């Protein structure tokens, strides 16, 4: 099985490549070739003996989508996107990358399907941002699509078009609405959600972390490993059996900031917790206050998608990766 | 108030123009100018003394959307669309007209907003086709968007983008999900829904009508006059007060085929009913069987949208217009 990963240089993309290479298979078939594309050149993976094409590519450039699938990959992971804050700040960029990029990919697949019967599995990463307030405390699978951001609108439009092209038989498709990734590795960033990871990551590294919201704030999380697990699991599913609602809210861990802090304490003690500095920020609190708190992802659970076991497990995954266990 | 009507030569568009001219006002302001565009040249209305621009225009042609709003109309009715059957038969045409056409209009408005603060009211006609099975017997306002047709996908994508552009303040927007129009005037067509109108229209004209589905089939209807009433009412609403869910299911009359037939009998007697010939068609029955039966359009009712009073009223409206009352 030849796998194409769009967005292969990103935080999830790199881990997905590593996981596929380590597994040596995808969707129950031997991994035979890799095409890795991103706006920056992805690193070629170590330990894979098959052919690898790792290139910088802009999916919205003329001919780029056709070139991406020229090798007729059997499975495509479409992770390429402009993130939420950037899509809000730059409307044209967001629609171009998140909507047009997805549409160009879908249309390249359709043209290939018409030309030679090509019909890949397409695993599309969507987002909780397809939902918007008002929210019930626990959000069911059939909650209305009403995004409160341009990013959410673009992802919802992608979900709709993916479902249409799957219904018409051009591809086998599935959309995964990923939880907020935590603990996100790397440096602190300006994303409104950054503190959810920062209050774990920084103290574990002996550094101060800023907490701009009350301890009672609750949100929906998955570790990077769990997110990669969702993608790998999706590639192995019989997508013909899923039915018409192919974009699924992924399971996660619903945790409050207070619960995050107690998990940090259990992992690294009071000294680590003391590095969290409370600095209330009304703007961030207002943004985060409009976010969902918990989901009941029945469809995804029934299909075998599995979240991290607890927030302690989320912390443990980060510790094992970055602090030698 | 200058009104722009996109799709002005269509069945609803022509009636809307007539209604606006007859009212002499729109949205509480004097109707001062009309721009009427369609793929075929719209007729200029009689009895209107203000400036009228009535032209053939393809909204997806380069510069056409900018030209359409060059006169800075205060209210825009966007009715232009490729219909359901055509969008299903010709995927590229459907996405081009129904998605790109709407997007080009939205982007032309955005550019004008940025350039000179232009901020029109945009009344967008959407469709029940944004919903797909499985359905509850009565469908609430917050039912999940899960279209079962490319047309429904394109309308849902338009709704999402409209909401995003309204949220960002480029325009004041509202989307109206129109019920199936009945009695649709004109000749029988090949639309799967054609018989709903045909079994009233043809017998009233002394002609035979084909009924391809069981008498128990139930659906959601509005007369052409009610549909125009929704559009006119929407133009008069304070759209800033509607909140974030700006695409609304319009009220309608839920009726079975049997109830349609009894309304015909009350209006035109047994002789008319005898002109209905039952010719079961499994394909049409299957298509129509996946359609919604009834809605609970609470939000639209709260905003003052009003359906026809009964299926008898729907028949009476057709009789008054085409058979002299």
Residue B105 lies in a domain: yes
- Domain carrying residue A65: 2-179+222-251+294-307
- ipTM for the predicted complex comes to 0.95
Nearest by CB to B164, which of A142, A145, A153?
A153
Chain A hits for B144, Cβ within 8 Å: 142-145, 245
Residue A168 to residue B91, Cβ atoms within 8 A: yes
Q: Provide the pLDDT confidence category of residue B325 given band limits of 50, 70 and 90.
A: low
Measured N-to-C along each axis, helices A150-167 and A101-116 cross at an angle, to the nearest 10 degrees, of 10
A223 CA: distance to closest CA in chain B (Å): 28
Q: Please measure the distance between the N-terminal and C-terminal CA atoms of chain B and give it in whole angstroms.
A: 34
CATH number at residue B102: 3.40.50.720
Q: Which chain B residues have any C-beta within 8 angstroms of a chain A C-beta?
A: 91, 110, 132-133, 142-148, 150, 153, 156-157, 160-161, 163-164, 167-168, 244-245
All residues at 6 or more sequence positions from B277 whose CB lies less than 8 Å from its CB, including other chains: B208, B209, B210, B211
Nearest Cα residue in chain B from A135: B142
Chain B hits for A142, Cβ within 8 Å: 143-144
> Taking residues B91-119, what's their average pLDDT?
98
Residue A160 to residue B142, Cβ atoms within 8 A: no
Q: If DSSP codes are grouped into helix, strand and coil, which group holds residue A206?
A: coil
Chain A hits for B133, Cβ within 8 Å: 244
Which residue's entry shows tokens 């699924």? Answer: A248
- Paired strand residues for A36: A5, A54
Tell me the C-alpha to C-alpha distance, in Å, between residue A7 and each of A82, A184, A223, A257, A272.
Answer: 10, 17, 18, 30, 34
- The predicted pLDDT at position A289 comes to 85
Interface A:B, Cβ pairs < 8 A: 59
- The predicted pLDDT at position A85 comes to 86
Residue A319 lies in a domain: no
- Paired strand residues for B259: none
- The predicted pLDDT at position B243 comes to 85
Nearest by CB to A153, which of B143, B160, B245?
B160
Residues A128/A148, Cβ–Cβ less than 8 Å: no
Q: Which chain A residues have any C-beta within 8 angstroms of a chain B C-beta?
A: 91, 110, 132, 142-148, 150, 153, 156-157, 160-161, 163-164, 167-168, 244-245
Residues A292/A138, Cβ–Cβ less than 8 Å: no
Distance CA B26, CA B252 (A): 23
Q: Tens of pLDDT along A181-229?
A: 999 998 877 778 899 999 999 999 999 999 999 999 999 999 999 999 9
Count Cα atoms within 13 angstroms, Cβ side, for B83: 13
Catalytic: B118?
A: no
Chain A hits for B163, Cβ within 8 Å: 146-147, 153
Residue A36 lies in a domain: yes
Q: What are the DSSP E strand ranges found in chain A? A: 2-6, 25-26, 29-30, 33-38, 52-56, 75-78, 121-127, 139-140, 172-178, 180-181, 209-211, 218-222, 247-249, 253-256, 276-278, 295-296
Ordered per-residue pLDDT tens for chain A, 325 residues: 999 999 999 999 999 999 999 999 999 999 999 999 999 999 999 999 999 999 999 999 999 999 999 999 999 999 999 988 899 999 999 999 999 999 999 999 999 999 999 999 999 999 999 999 999 999 999 999 999 999 999 999 999 999 999 999 999 999 999 999 999 998 877 778 899 999 999 999 999 999 999 999 999 999 999 999 999 999 999 988 888 889 999 999 999 999 999 999 999 999 999 999 999 999 889 888 889 999 999 999 999 999 999 999 999 999 999 998 5
Tell me the C-alpha to C-alpha distance, in Å, between residue B121 and each of A52, A58, B78, B231.
Answer: 52, 36, 11, 12
Q: Tens of pLDDT along B15-71?
A: 999 999 999 999 999 999 999 999 999 999 999 999 999 999 999 999 999 999 999
Mean pLDDT, chain B, whole residue set: 95
Distance CA B321, CA B222 (A): 15
Chain B hits for A157, Cβ within 8 Å: 157, 160-161
Residue A323 lies in a domain: no
Residue B144 to residue A147, Cβ atoms within 8 A: no
Phi and psi torsions of B222, nearest 5°: -140, 145
Distance CA A20, CA A40 (A): 20
All residues at 6 or more sequence positions from B99 whose CB lies less than 8 Å from its CB, including other chains: B154, B157, B158
Mutation pick from B164, B290, B298 vs chain A, by most beta carbons of A within 10 Å, is B164
Distance CA B29, CA B23 (A): 10
Nearest by CB to A244, which of B145, B148, B167?
B148
Distance CA B165, CA B169 (A): 6
Distance CA B35, CA B56 (A): 11
Residue A12 lies in a domain: yes
Among B95, B118, B151, B165, the one annotated catalytic: B151
Residue B97 has what DSSP assignment?
A: I
A15 CA: distance to closest CA in chain B (Å): 32
Residue A148 to residue B244, Cβ atoms within 8 A: yes
Residue A33 lies in a domain: yes
Q: Tens of pLDDT along B180-199?
A: 999 999 887 777 889 999 99
Nearest by CB to A164, which of B110, B150, B160?
B150
- The predicted pLDDT at position B7 comes to 97
Residue B106 lies in a domain: yes
Residue B153 to residue A147, Cβ atoms within 8 A: no
Residue B213 lies in a domain: no
B49 CA: distance to closest CA in chain A (Å): 41
B101 CA: distance to closest CA in chain A (Å): 15
Nearest by CB to A144, which of B91, B144, B147?
B144
Number of folded domains that form chain A: 1
Residue B110 has what DSSP assignment?
A: H
Q: Tens of pLDDT along B139-163?
A: 999 999 999 999 999 999 999 999 9
């Amino acid at each position: 099985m030849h796998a194409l990963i769009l967005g292969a240089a990103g935080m999830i993309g790199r881990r997905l490549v590593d996981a596929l290479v380590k597994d040596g298979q995808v969707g129950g078939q031997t991994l035979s070739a890799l095409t890795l594309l991103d706006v920056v050149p992805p690193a070629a993976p170590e330990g894979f003996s098959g052919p690898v094409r790792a290139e910088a590519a802009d999916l919205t450039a003329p001919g780029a989508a056709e070139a991406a699938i020229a090798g007729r990959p059997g499975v495509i992971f479409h992770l390429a996107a402009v993130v939420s804050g950037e899509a809000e700040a730059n409307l044209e960029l967001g629609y171009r990358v998140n909507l047009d990029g997805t549409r160009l990919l879908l249309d390249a697949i359709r043209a290939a399907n018409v030309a030679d019967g090509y019909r890949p599995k397409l695993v599309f990463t969507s987002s909780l941002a397809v939902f918007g307030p008002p929210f019930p405390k626990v959000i069911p699978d059939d909650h209305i699509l009403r995004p409160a951001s341009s990013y959410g609108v673009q992802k919802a439009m992608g979900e709709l078009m993916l479902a249409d092209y799957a219904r018409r038989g051009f591809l086998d498709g599935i959309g995964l609405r990923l939880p907020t990734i935590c603990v996100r590795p790397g440096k602190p960033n300006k994303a409104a959600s950054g503190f959810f990871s920062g209050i774990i990551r920084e103290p574990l590294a002996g550094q101060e972390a800023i907490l701009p919201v009350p301890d009672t704030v609750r949100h929906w999380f998955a570790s990077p490993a769990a997110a990669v697990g969702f993608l790998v699991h999706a590639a192995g599913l019989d997508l013909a059996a899923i039915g018409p609602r192919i974009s699924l809210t992924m399971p996660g861990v619903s945790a409050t900031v207070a619960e995050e802090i107690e998990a940090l304490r259990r992992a690294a003690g009071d000294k680590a917790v003391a590095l969290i500095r409370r600095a209330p920020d009304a703007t961030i609190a207002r943004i985060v206050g409009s976010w969902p708190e918990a989901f009941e992802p029945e469809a995804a659970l029934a299909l075998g998608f599995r979240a991290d076991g607890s927030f302690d497990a989320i912390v443990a995954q980060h510790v094992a990766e970055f602090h030698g266990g």
